[in-house]
Structure 1
Amino acid sequence: MDERKTYYVAVGAGSILEDREAAAFEFEIQANEEELNKLQEMFEELSSADEAAAFRFPVPPVTASEQERNAEYDHQLHSIYQLLYETGTEETKRHIESIGILKTTPERECLQKPC
């Protein structure tokens, strides 16, 4: 079944809500159960990547493994915004377009294929 329901998403909090009034949210989406489960998994992966990146001291030099952890976090965040765009309302799509997070950059291309 492909029944879509409305959900309200707060990326920073990693939350997906059914009740518009429950908490602050940034994006409104229309998702089926499969898309909802995928988004929940992506938030869990983002949280894990964030925890790994948090152990890095914010002073140079940045090691290759630290760069890899940061790249993984960026990739997860980009994937979340891509799914939000695909399932989002017109207002959500316009907002994501306006912040430009889905634009291709050389760094993102390297995540997709070897540079």
Structure 2
Amino acid sequence: MSEGKRTYYIGVGDGLITQDPECSPWNFKIEATDDEITQLREYFDNNYANEQENFYRAHVPYLQYHYDRENDAYDKTLLKVYGMIHRLGDETAKKHIESMGILKN
């Protein structure tokens, strides 16, 4: 483990960031500094706000998903989340994200 980094367990679906692998189900194990975790938390917070907007916008039947700015923002932030987890994650996390085929080289 690099100096200044600690082990965290990440749950992408619910925005979980914890150091306790037993507290809740998680998807990825990463090694991150406090600043990196702060950035990841901001990404999750941004997507939570976008999800709230998307909930209200979902009740507009004529608006298609791919024409909705809030959905675009959510998707872009989610790619940032996966990119960060790929960069900081263990080999299992890296391989899983690579298998998803969502990140550009």
- TM-score interval, normalised by the smaller of the two chains: 0.7 to 0.9
Q: Give the equivalent residue in structure 1 for 2:89.
A: 88
Which residues in structure 2 correspond to 1:1-115 (within 5 Å)?
A: 3-57=4-58, 60-62=61-63, 67-103=68-104
Q: Give the equivalent residue in structure 2 for 1:112.
A: none
Rounded Cα–Cα distance in structure 2 between residues aligned with 1:5 and 1:91: 17
SS in 2 for 1:98: helix
- Which structure is richer in relative contact order (CA contacts within 8 A, separation 6 or more)? 2
- Assess, with a 3 A threshold, how the Cα gap between structure 1 residues 102 and 58 changes in structure 2: closer, same or farther: farther
- Runs of at least 5 residues in structure 1 that lack an aligned partner in the other structure: 105-115
Percent identity between matched residues is 34
SS in 1 for 2:63: coil
SS in 1 for 2:68: helix
Following superposition, which runs of at least 4 residues in structure 1 exceed 4 angstroms of deviation? Answer: none
Deviations 1:2-60 (A, max 9, x none): 51111000011111010111110000000011101111111101100111111123665
Equivalent position amino acid for 1:38 in 2: Q
* C-alpha displacement of 1:97: 0.6
